[in-house]
Chains A and B, each alone.
Chain A
Amino acid sequence: MIMVKKSVYLDNSASTRVLDEVVSAMIPYFTEIYGNPSSLHSFGIKAKKALDDSRKIVANSINANPEEIIFTSGGTESDNIAVFGVAAARKDGRIITTKIEHPAIKNTVQKLKTQGFEVLFIDVDYEGFINIKQLEESINADTILVSIIHANNEIGTIQDIETIGNIIKTKNPNTYFHVDAVQSYMKLPIDVVSAKIDLLSIASHKIHGPKGVGALYIRNGVKLKSLQLGGSHEKNLRAGTENVPGIVGFAKAVELNLVDLEEYTKNLVFLRDRLIDGIEKRIPHVILNGPRGVSRNSNNVNISFKHIEGESILLYLDMQGIAVSTGSACSSTSLKPSHVLEAIGLPVEICHGSIRFTLSRYTTKEEIDYVLEVFPKIIAKLRALSPLNAN
């Protein structure tokens, strides 16, 4: 009998499989409609039409107008254009963010701090919810920007952006509200109008679209200064010929996600909780990081396994065909554990043993059950090696 090695991809917050229909939709834009959308001839006009249609689809998905969307190379670039763009336009002032941001925000605001901006990092509780009162008290007349991650990329905590948006605009209507929605887009409904959002970052490859494409929503009237010089593409904010095939693929992925958003989110929640419950029942000395239930992103499971180290767990899982990620320092180039796990108050030695599983519409019940079957043996083997084992 031939043994087929299983292959279970549970690292969908890192990147996702592109939908087949998305690939098909992109192909003509490499070989047939390859003109530059800025060109005036028929080749250019066709490409421009694809760009306009895509912009409409993305805008509609967050209740924005098409002219409020610019296409970028992804979440990181969207975050950079938003944060540095506001800073360059306003020149000085206070910037408020949280202790659990993605590096694309964390490192951009750190840079602004060195340039004289005042930067405050709002605390989070043990489940990763930001201290709303602290945020409210921190917004003053000088505050130019508040940037909040909607669903945390590591522990899945969902912030109440509607409440936050209202608080910001009540305290200071001139403060811009930026939301990093890279992990929540196409998993949670987003309405930029009702949440009073001025800027919002999203990325294609997290929603089964191609890599290298993202978008930034910029509410009409918001003033940004551009960082990249060149042609007048994307409202003068992102010089460079648009990635037409990528943008077409992104829009197609949005369209396809919207068809069954509610249904597959329900399925994701079912699989997510089956994985959490199964691990908690089968393996002792584990801690779920982030909240349970509706305030947890539908695709995220993050668990710390005491007495063992994350990279070892990741590699043993990989030998069984299971792909995950870890917040362990040993897997990073910095040798520092995850700042998110530190911010929720997890002891450092436990941070090292944390594993993130992120599911997608391709994840099956059989795959989750396979993980639950092989996982206890892996943990037992590593714990037998550990001098820290409680037994």
Chain B
Amino acid sequence: MVYSDTVMDHFKNPRNVGEIKDADGTGNVGNPMCGDMMTITIEVKDNVISDIKFKTFGCAAAIATSSMITELVKGLTIEDALKITKDDIVENLGGLPPIKLHCSNLAADALKKAIDDYREKLNK
């Protein structure tokens, strides 16, 4: 199994690592029992994702997909961010080994959950 150069770059130098304090939205997905767990926190200003950070427990693919999604959606409106699919993440990473494709679901789900959490807070 060989990872693409882009995957290895994001794995070696992950972007937007961390946790936003008092985040506007938080998404937790996965389970340590399964070997994958991800937390995404977002800050939203005027309907735009102004900041995003992640923390991931997982393999190189899990870390790289988390890092990639933060890069893809930073600066996008909530609506545009929701349009980013797992396939977009995989494409931007230059592909993933078949066995690792589920990792891209995890990143897309974590973002969606963070946005759901943000919207729920807004409606309160």
Contacts and interface: CB of A to CB of B under 8 A. Distances in A.
Interface of A: 307-309, 311-312, 315, 319, 328-331, 333, 335, 337, 348-349, 352, 384-388
A317 to B, nearest CB: 12
Contacts of B33: 348-349
A330 B11 contact: no
Given A308-B57, A309-B59, A311-B60, A388 B32 contact: yes
B119 interface: no
A312 B35 contact: no
A352 B55 contact: no
A386 B32 CA distance: 11
B78 interface: no
A386 B100 CA distance: 19
Contacts of A387: 19, 28, 37-39, 55-57
Contact of B35 (A315, A329, A385): A329
Contact of A309 (B8, B17, B57): B57
A326 to B, nearest CB: 10
A337 B35 contact: yes
5 contacts: A328-B59, A349-B35, A387-B55, A388-B32, A388-B37
Chain B: number of interface residues, binned into ranges: 20 to 34
Question: Which of A312, A315, A348, A387: most chain B Cβ within 10 A?
Answer: A387
Nearest to B3: A315
Contacts of A348: 32-33
Question: Which of A330, A335, A348: most chain B Cβ within 10 A?
Answer: A330
Interface of B: 8, 11-12, 14, 17, 19, 28, 32-39, 55-63, 99-100
A384 B56 contact: no
B11 A352 contact: no
B59 A307 contact: no
Contact of A385 (B34, B56, B100): B56
A312 B11 contact: yes
A127 B39 CA distance: 34
A349 B32 contact: yes
B60 A385 contact: no
Question: Which of B56, B57, B99: most chain A Cβ within 10 A?
Answer: B57
Nearest to A386: B57
B56 A311 contact: no
A319 B58 contact: no
Contacts of B57: 307-309, 385-388
Contact of B99 (A307, A335, A337, A384): A335
A307 B34 CA distance: 13
B38 A309 contact: no
